[in-house]
Amino acid sequence: MEVHKFEETDQKWQVPGKPKNFGKKQKIVLSKDQREELLKKAYSINYQHGLIIEIGLNTGLRVNELANLIIESFNPYTNSIFIRTRNGSKYYAAFKTKTEKSNRELQIPKNLSKKLEAHIGSRKTGYIFRSQRSPCYSKRSLINMINKYANKCKTIPSWQTELGKWTKNIGFHCLRATFCSFLVSKNLDLLGIQNLMGHQYTETTFKYIKQIAPVNFKEVQKLLKNMNDGVSK
């Protein structure tokens, strides 16, 4: 599957028909045009949904981490979001991060921090994002939400499932893969990407990088040739 780098603006991304284990092993990375249209669609229909997607694109949070964000985990003065294991209270359920490394601090842009602060308003505790039927969103509801908006986007291509149905379902994990792609495009080192993604092992981070930014062996050969030019045999 062809994937986009974070800064690409072309619209040639395609997914082969009847992909095997699509969305689980493959990393979908949204182009700039696709991100902009996705956010525009979401914000125009439901402001909170747009804010959720924008937070996901700018932090790479796992879907359960985003669903379980509480007001106390956000610091508007430092534009920071903290992901921590926590005990439950009468306002929210207990939450356990996936691994020890998943406990981390993430920075968000100042303008996004202002949006989040305005969304929270005068509330002092509880979940940041509340659904109509429960105090917070479920993982499934967030996945369904992003798929709904993706299917409205012209820049996101359709593909055919194994059952023959045409769809644009990209899943929530694509926001995480897109964030990782951005870090790779800015040449952040492997350990830095690992810390921001909350991976326990560097091997997990490398799997992302290997698929998002595959090695160009011709370029490697050129680099090695330049390195060895003038070196005595």
Give per-residue pLDDT as tens, 136-165.
Answer: 999 999 999 999 999 999 999 987 777 788
Which of 60-69, 72-81, 189-198 bottoms out in mean pLDDT, i.e. has the lowest?
A: 189-198
All structural domains of the chain, each given as residue ranges with its CATH number in brackets, are 32-222 (1.10.443.10)
- CA-atom Rg of the chain in angstroms: 20
pLDDT score of 230 more than 60: no
- 34 close to 124: Cβ distance less than 8 angstroms: no
Could you tell me the pTM of the whole model? 0.81
